[in-house]
Structure 1
Amino acid sequence: MASTFDFIIVGSGPAGSAVAAGLARTPKSPKVLLLEAGAKYEDRNLRVDGQRWITFQNKDMNWGYSTAAQEHCNNRQIDYSRGRCLGGSSAINFGVYSVGARDDYEEWARIVGDDEFRWEHIQARFKSLETFHGEVPAGVDKKYASPKASDHGSSGPLHVGFAAEWERDLPPLLDVFEQAGFPLNPDHNSGNPIGMSVLINSAHKGLRSTAADLLTPPPDNLTIITGAPVQRVILEGKKAVGVESNGKKYFASKEVILSAGSLDGPRILMHSGIGPAEQLEKYNIPVVHSVPAIGQGLRDHCFCPLVYTRTDSSTDRRAFFGDQKAMDDALEQWKREGSGPWSKFACELGIGWFKLDKLTASKEFQELPADEQKYLLQETVPHYEILTHFPVHWFIPNFPQDALNYSCLLVFFYNAQSKGEVTLQSSDPNVPLRFDPKFLSHPFDHRAAIESLRDAFRVIKNDAYTKDNVGELAVPKSDSDEDLLEYWRQNISSSWHMTGTIKMGKPGDADAAVDNNFRLIGIEGLRVADMSVAPVLPSCHIQAVAYVTGATCAEKLVKEYDLGRV
């Protein structure tokens, strides 16, 4: 096999797969190499829609990362899972397909000075990526879900949409939200997510979509090598000419594109001599190009659960999750038809994004920089999220079987101002970096966490909700500031939306490592295309943004190298 290609892409997650597919499927058919550290895992049974919540427990498919002890979260180490297989984290994630707010992309375009990141262009790329299935089950009122065809694609490789069958307590719970004063939003992927919606999943007919779908079938000019973790970029002076994987060298005549993510992209760069000089020197790594911003600026979303046991008459969960034979029989049905309980339970969720007037009126908000305040006040930018029907029994050790009839709401706060870092801790390129997101280290995050949880009480204290409660499984002691913040400290989880460690910006910006064309500033022939470059923390679950980031980079490369459009 020839070891020289036109383009080399490192990492097969949503961004890397979008770059690889976007380059390989052009009329000029450049030779493209995609390197993935993990294995292929082509078993269809790894894509059971209702089991998407536990795929990440497959240790062979997960890097198994954790954060450093979090100083502001009772010194807890928090799960920081990342996918290690073809498809990257899309193969182990929870299947939420949300594109965020149109104002996220307007802000991205403003920060980097490039209209290609504005919503009109981003939405066009989203539409090219997806085949949207907007049908809802028979008898379900259109007020819950009525997306416009003009906001969605119909011929892309990713099959996304609503589950074919919903748990029976989902529409009544949406009604509770409406009664509690939360507006319904018929489509959270229109560019305006504000309101309570029904989740658009990265799944169809019980089968999950992953980034591997962008590569199927692979064109002849695309070489995919799995089991190939990359340790470093090969440099000639300040030009990238290839990469090294387990002692084997692969060369690129045109470009190397890193799509290894916010946690591993900085590791590869640092071990190539590109990064904060002080860190590199500490571990005896020769400094080729000092970039203090690399590894800085880590941002993420966080959530905590609210869990109540419910009456037997209000949910069917115990009859399914509490009966091994029922689950086994359902799996056989899924294998035959892609239907049944494994395409129903925890497959359709309620999801909503909301504004918080009490947050924007707070002292903590007023103390933010003017540009950040202006962004957070934009029409479509939410301040927190609620997600319903989360199968929390898989996440609490020794969950009581008699409590399987339960209701779980996850509450997320958005626009975290805490900025963490990923830093070297070894001269060995196979040792992970130290991951410190510094959760809850910023006063604004305290206020956002408190007010989001307090606002969610409008639902859980509503008579239409409480009438079906039997007991409390996980709730704060009270709705005082102190008890709400302590509940976050003790129960906070990462949303695995790591962003911003190789940030995009304008040349000269102190915190910018790549330019608006994804080029690593100061190094020729090297680009970074994944969520590490995002200069905003998008208002969503970020897999969709990762796809569109890769697609945007591919478009720029296709144009620059005159590869011809598909």
Structure 2
Amino acid sequence: MATEYDFIIVGSGPAGASVAFALAQSPKKPKVLILEAGSRNDDRNLRVSGQRWLTFLQKDLNFGYKTCPQQNVASRELDYSRGKGLGGSSAINFGAFTVGASHDYDTWAKLTDDEDYSWPRIQGRFKKLITFHRDLPAGTDPKYASPLAENHGSSGPLHLGYAKEWEEDLVPTLDLLSQSGYALNPDHNSGNPIGVSLLITSTHDGLRSTANDILSELPDNFTVLTSSPVQNVIFSGKKAIGVSSNGTSYFASREVILSAGALDTPRILMHSGIGPTDQLTKFGIPVLLPAPRVGQNLRDRPFMSLVYRRKPGSTASKRGSFYGSQAAQDSALAQWQNDGTGPWSKYGCQLAVGFLKLSERFTSSREFRSLPEGEQEFLNHETVPHMEFVTHFPVHMYFPPGAFPRVSEEQLVDYSCLSLFLYNPQSRGEATLQSSDPDVPLRFDPRFFAHEFDRRAAADSLREFLERFVEGNEEFRRGTEGVIAGPEKGAKSSDEELLDFWREGLGSTFHMTGTAKMGKRGEEDAVVDSAFRVIGVEGLRVADMSVVPVLVSGHTQAVAYVTGYTCGEKLLKEYDLL
């Protein structure tokens, strides 16, 4: 096997695959090597739409990372799942494909002084990556979803859309949300997500679409190697010339692109001698380039779930008869394997999502007003949400047995789950060295709830949602038989009681961002420039969520795809490959 290539891409997740997708457009056919730490991950049965909530439990497909004990979250160690295998985390995530707010990207462009990150250009790249299927179940009122064709792609390798069959209580739940004053948004991926929408997912016809769908279409000038974790970058002076993987050296005549993700790219950089001097010195790693911000600026957002037992005849799905019967689930899997239809293409497949602004009570709070003026302006922009909720999350599949002590496992199938997400958290964490062994993961500390703004936003978002919908909507309240998971005093709880409920059930959304932050050359916190080049060395770029300088107002798999594609386009131009 050849060991010299034009480009080496480390990582096969959404970002790495999208770098490759762009390079594959070149008629000059550069030789490209993609190195993936995990397996080929080609079992179609791992792509069942309704079972996408379980894939992360596959230990061979998940690095199985944990956070360190979270000081402000009852010292809990939290799951920090990352995908391992072709497709990366797109093969184990929950499938939400939300691009965020147009203002996120315009802010990115402003922070980097590079119009390539402005919303019109970013949206153009999304269109190239995506084939969007607008099909809805027969008879569905277009008020629930009417996305415009000009906002979506029609020929890309990623297949997105809505489930073809919905749970019985989905539309009634949308109606209840509308009755509570939440505006319906016909398309959350238009650039303005505010309102209640049907969630667009990376699934179509009951099948999950992953970054592996990009890799499977690459031409023969690409080589993909699995079971090949990268320990470090090889340098000649300060020029990157290759990488080391399991004792084998692979060389790149042009560039090395790290797309290992916000948790692993900093590890590779540090073990290559690029990182905070004190950490490198502590573990005996020779310092090639002092880079104190590598591993810093870790941003992530937490979520938690409210769960209510619903009365028969209320807006309750018939999911209990399915989830409560192993025979029904087995029969459904056989049907899915035959033609991609059936209950595993229905239950847990179509969610509603709400991207919401909070009231003046929040925006006039001391914690909000104490933020820097520029951050307040960002949060007040008309397209930027303060919180998110989703409905129809099959929470009993995600949490382990016994997670809900108020109810038996048999009762846990007849419920409504409403999951809340905290947006624009101000806490900043870090990923730091804890070993001289390059195969040992970094220590991850997102520092959830460290900033007072986050605690205010968490309490207010929960209280407002309880007031306005859970308790404020008379029909939903009448149809609720009992509380499975929720604050005992509901909206009347004190701030601290609401925060305690968050602390009990808080989890990471796995939206880790910013650990090799992009910025302008000369800025203190910039690790890479707007062309993804690691500042201070040559021939090395980073293209994944670690470089993104904003925590985009949506689920980050979409952002990872477009980040990688943007890097690939820049490589095409710089090396005159078109």
Give the TM-score normalised by the residue count of structure 1.
Answer: 0.99
Partner of 1:352: 354
Write out aligned runs for 1:492-503 (5 A).
Answer: 492-503=506-517
Quote how far apart the aligned CAs of 1:396 are.
3.1
Q: Equivalent of 1:427, from 426, 436, 449?
A: 436
Partner of 1:536: 550
Q: Equivalent of 2:328, from 323, 326, 329?
A: 326
Partner of 1:42: 42
Partner of 1:375: 378
Quote how far apart the aligned CAs of 1:471 are.
1.0
Gaps of 5+ in 2: 403-408
Q: Distance in 1 between matches of 2:216 and 2:226?
A: 15
Partner of 2:484: 473
Quote how far apart the aligned CAs of 1:463 are.
1.2
2:461 partner amino acid: S
Write out aligned runs for 1:139-178 (5 A).
Answer: 139-178=139-178
Write out aligned runs for 1:225-264 (5 A).
Answer: 225-264=225-264
- For the pair 1:525 / 2:528, whether they are aligned, the reply is no
Q: Distance in 1 between matches of 2:449 and 2:285?
A: 33
1:99-133 deviation line (CA, Å, top 9, x unaligned)? 00000000000111100000000000001110001
Q: Give SS of 2:284's match.
A: coil
Q: Distance in 2 between matches of 1:238 and 1:372?
A: 37
Q: Distance in 2 between matches of 1:508 and 1:144?
A: 47
Quote how far apart the aligned CAs of 1:429 are.
0.3
1:87 partner amino acid: G
Q: Distance in 2 between matches of 1:403 and 1:207?
A: 26
Partner of 2:405: none
- For the pair 1:491 / 2:505, whether they are aligned, the reply is yes
Quote how far apart the aligned CAs of 1:401 are.
1.1
Gaps of 5+ in 1: none
More displaced stretch, 522-531 vs 467-476: 467-476
Partner of 2:345: 343
Q: Distance in 1 between matches of 2:293 and 2:74?
A: 28
Q: Distance in 2 between matches of 1:41 and 1:516?
A: 33
Q: Distance in 1 between matches of 2:441 and 2:169?
A: 43
1:459 partner amino acid: F
Q: Is the 8 A contact 1:24 1:31 kept in 2?
A: no
- For the pair 1:30 / 2:30, whether they are aligned, the reply is yes
Q: Distance in 2 between matches of 1:246 and 1:123?
A: 39
Q: Equivalent of 1:450, from 431, 445, 459?
A: 459
Q: Give SS of 1:214's match.
A: helix
Q: Distance in 2 between matches of 1:87 and 1:201?
A: 16
Q: Is the 8 A contact 1:275 1:291 kept in 2?
A: yes
Q: Give SS of 1:421's match.
A: strand
Q: Distance in 2 between matches of 1:179 and 1:520?
A: 51
Q: Equivalent of 1:459, from 428, 450, 469?
A: 469
- For the pair 1:89 / 2:89, whether they are aligned, the reply is yes
Q: Distance in 2 between matches of 1:88 and 1:178?
A: 37
- For the pair 1:413 / 2:415, whether they are aligned, the reply is no
Q: Distance in 1 between matches of 2:134 and 2:424?
A: 29
Write out aligned runs for 1:108-123 (5 A).
Answer: 108-123=108-123
Q: Give SS of 2:459's match.
A: helix
Q: Give SS of 2:254's match.
A: strand
Q: Distance in 1 between matches of 2:469 and 2:263?
A: 36
1:451-505 deviation line (CA, Å, top 9, x unaligned)? 1111211111111212221111100123321111111111110000000000000
Q: Is the 8 A contact 2:232 2:243 kept in 1?
A: yes
Quote how far apart the aligned CAs of 1:359 are.
2.0
Q: Give SS of 1:450's match.
A: helix
1:373 partner amino acid: Q
Partner of 2:564: 550
Q: Is the 8 A contact 2:158 2:209 kept in 1?
A: yes
Count of residue pairs brought into register by the alignment: 564
Q: Give SS of 1:261's match.
A: coil
1:427-465 deviation line (CA, Å, top 9, x unaligned)? 000000000000000000001101111121111111121
Q: Give SS of 2:263's match.
A: helix
Q: Distance in 1 between matches of 2:412 and 2:266?
A: 43
Quote how far apart the aligned CAs of 1:361 are.
1.2
Q: Is the 8 A contact 1:386 1:456 kept in 2?
A: no
Q: Distance in 2 between matches of 1:10 and 1:270?
A: 15
Q: Is the 8 A contact 1:105 1:117 kept in 2?
A: yes
1:317-354 deviation line (CA, Å, top 9, x unaligned)? 11000001110110011011101100000100000101
Q: Is the 8 A contact 2:194 2:357 kept in 1?
A: yes
Q: Give SS of 2:67's match.
A: coil
Q: Is the 8 A contact 2:53 2:398 kept in 1?
A: no
1:12-39 deviation line (CA, Å, top 9, x unaligned)? 0000000012113311100000000000
Q: Distance in 2 between matches of 1:370 and 1:441?
A: 20
Q: Is the 8 A contact 1:312 1:405 kept in 2?
A: no
Partner of 1:389: 392
Q: Distance in 2 between matches of 1:360 and 1:511?
A: 28
Q: Distance in 1 between matches of 2:163 and 2:521?
A: 45
1:398 partner amino acid: P
Percent of counterpart pairs with the same letter?
60
More displaced stretch, 367-376 vs 93-102: 367-376
Q: Give SS of 1:263's match.
A: coil
Write out aligned runs for 1:72-83 (5 A).
Answer: 72-83=72-83
Partner of 2:406: none
Q: Distance in 2 between matches of 1:397 and 1:210?
A: 26
Q: Is the 8 A contact 1:385 1:413 kept in 2?
A: yes
Give the TM-score normalised by the residue count of structure 2.
Answer: 0.97
Quote how far apart the aligned CAs of 1:360 are.
1.5
Q: Distance in 1 between matches of 2:250 and 2:238?
A: 17
Q: Is the 8 A contact 1:66 1:81 kept in 2?
A: yes
Quote how far apart the aligned CAs of 1:217 are.
2.6
Q: Give SS of 2:39's match.
A: coil
Q: Give SS of 2:262's match.
A: helix
1:155-190 deviation line (CA, Å, top 9, x unaligned)? 000000110001010011111111111111000000
1:443 partner amino acid: E
More displaced stretch, 360-369 vs 516-525: 360-369
Q: Distance in 2 between matches of 1:53 and 1:222?
A: 32
Quote how far apart the aligned CAs of 1:312 are.
3.4
Quote how far apart the aligned CAs of 1:394 are.
1.5
Write out aligned runs for 1:182-221 (5 A).
Answer: 182-221=182-221
